Structures are given as structure tokens and as C-alpha cells.
Amino acid sequence: MVSQIDLLGGRIRVDANDLLSHGRTQNRDVVVLSGTLLEGIGNLYSDLDLYVIGEALPPRGPDGRSIQVVREDGRVRRINETLEGAGNLVLDVQYYTFRELATLARSVNELYAESKRSSRIFRKTLHADDEDLVHKLLTGTVLQDGTGHFNARETFDAGKFCFLKYRNEVGGYAEFRDLVGSWSDGDLDSCLYNIRSYLIAQVSGMMFLAGNTNPRPKWFVRRLGLLGEEYLELRERILTWMHGARHTELQKREGVEIACDLIDLTYDLARALLGTNPLYFTVDEALALTEREFAERAIHDREMSEEFQLLRRMFSSSAASVFAQIDGPPRRWSGVAA
């Protein structure tokens, strides 16, 4: 175990033994240091995360300056303390048991298996705290292994987690329908507001396929910066779009069209990534799932056809572009006036 850990390019140094002391760790515990500071995307206001894993959660200690999250049984889940000798960073100590990790791993595996049975957006997901725990353990540094054989990547399969998060993010038809509705109604402000979220979701899904496990939306831009050179065009075009002027009607319409082009580019990149990991479904498998699912549906209406076309665009470059689908002929009201 390294005794000194440099953060923020050496501007801050923390002592590993001091961290273990703050964590009130036992000899048989596994202790993992993690957080965005170790990922290289944090700043002076980011926390250091210390995960202490043992057979049981610790009992509540004496009250002090720390902030404690205590369960009903009197066991401690979380403590926050300030590291005065390390730039006053906040140390966020969280306690888990080996049994809790095993249960969470089963949940990841079960959700992953279910997510591969369909190509439509998969809404079932883990709790946000559980997602963050998986990410932090996969990207953290083990300071102490009281078991002698702890391996986070054997407990949690990163490929399964990334595919599950990809499926949680991309292809939401309800959100896409809102884009079509606001565009056809001429409500460009709502369309721009919503397409920003939709674009971020599609790019986030692609970044999960690329292996980035960070699920926190606030780090979207920093995660973009971690992508390789093959994603440079996408990264620069997204940042340019985010900072573009949207004052006139023409600018707003152009903003929506450019965002659609960026979604198309994102789908192109995602299709390439789907073939890089045997735990993902391939493009051919996804298209076959799409064809089968819609063939099995008893009702075939316009809305089903529109969702089908959106999924085909995700998995095939030959399908109509995202903007062409948004800018299609508007629906006609078929009601009868009283």
C-alpha cells in the first residue's frame, strides 16, 4: 500500500494511514479510496470517498464534528469529516458489508440479463447510490484488503454495468415524441430545452459503451474530455452547440437541427462500440430484436411505426435521420367538433 497519495497534480497530498484512521477501519476490512479526484476530473471542492467494507456496519461512535448517517439499528452508514492537513478536503466515509455487495452484484447481473432481451429503452435501473457505489469501487484504489483476495471487477462486471447504463439512457421514445410535438407546434423554446437533455442522454449512453462508468450527470462535460481522439469531433461540436446563440427563430431552428445531427453522429459511434464487447448485443442482434418485438405487437399504428423508425436509426445508418423523423408531416386531429 502506498503511504502518500498525490491529488490535483501534486497540489494536495493525503496520507493513506491517516485515511484508514479516519475510517475507523478494522484489520479484516476492505478499504477503497475513490472519487473524482482520483479519476482526474475533480476539483478543490470535490470530496474524497472512502469505502469501508466489512462483515458488519460499525456501531455509532461518540458524537463529534463528523456528520453521521445512522440506521435504525444504531449502525453507522456514513461519516463526513474535514481533512485539515490536506487542503480541508471533505472525506466521505461510507460503510458497507460484504453481503450487501453480493446482493448488489446479483441485482446488476439480473438487470443486465433482462436488458439484453429487448432493444426498446430499458427503464429498470439501480438506485442512484448503488450505481455510484459500483462506479466508485470499479475505479478506486484499494488501501487495505483484509480478505487478501478482494477484486471489485470480479464482484461487479464493468461490461455488464456499462451495457445496463447504456440501455437506461438511449432511445427513450416518450421523450422523442415530446420533441416531435414541440417542433411541429412551433414551440421552439421547449424543443430546444428538451433536445438538450435528449442529446446528453444519447451521448451519455455512448460513453458508457466506451467504458466510462461514472453515472453522475454533473460530470457530463468532464467525461467528454476523457474520451479518446476518435471522439474529438463529437466533443468539439457538442461544446460549440452548447455555447451557441439561440435568439432568433432561425437560430433556434438551426439549433434543433444541429442537435439532431449530433445525435446521429452519436448513434454512429455507438454502433461501432456495440461490436467491441461480447457482453453487449451487436447491431445485427439489436435490429433482429427490433424487428421481432414490433412484429409481435398486436396493434400496428402510426405511433408504433414512429418508435420503430427511431430504433432502426439507432442501429442502422440507412434509416431516416433523427431530424427527418422530427420534421415529418404533423399529425392531424381527427376528432369531431361538438
Which of helix, strand or coil describes residue 58? coil
Using an 8 Å Cβ cutoff, are 16 and 5 in contact? yes
Predicted local confidence at residue 336, as pLDDT: 47
Compute how many other C-beta atoms are within 10 angstroms of the C-beta atom of residue 211: 14
Q: At what angle do helices 188-209 and 232-242 cross, to 10 degrees?
A: 150
Question: Hey, what's the cell of 28?
Answer: 479484516
Q: What is the pLDDT along the chain (338 residues), one digit of tens a residue?
A: 557 888 888 788 888 888 998 888 999 999 999 999 999 899 888 999 999 999 999 988 666 657 777 776 778 999 998 887 777 789 999 999 999 999 999 999 999 999 999 999 999 999 999 999 999 999 999 999 999 999 999 999 999 999 999 999 999 999 999 999 999 999 999 999 999 999 999 999 999 999 999 999 999 999 999 999 999 999 999 999 999 999 999 999 999 999 999 999 999 999 999 989 999 999 999 999 999 988 888 677 788 889 999 999 999 999 999 999 999 876 655 554 44
Predicted local confidence at residue 302, as pLDDT: 80
Which of helix, strand or coil describes residue 262? helix
Compute how many other C-beta atoms are within 10 angstroms of the C-beta atom of residue 183: 24
Q: How far is CA 232 from the centre of its chain?
A: 20
β-strand pairing of 48-54 with 89-97: parallel
Nearest to 207 by CA among 248, 169, 261: 169
The H or E element spanning position 138 is: helix 128-139
Query: Which DSSP symbol is given to 68?
Result: E
Predicted local confidence at residue 60, as pLDDT: 80
Residues with Cβ < 8 Å from 336, sequence gap 6 or more?
none
Predicted local confidence at residue 172, as pLDDT: 95
Listed in order, strand segments (DSSP E) in 84-201 are: 89-97, 141-145
Across-strand partners of 81?
91
Using an 8 Å Cβ cutoff, are 48 and 14 in contact? yes
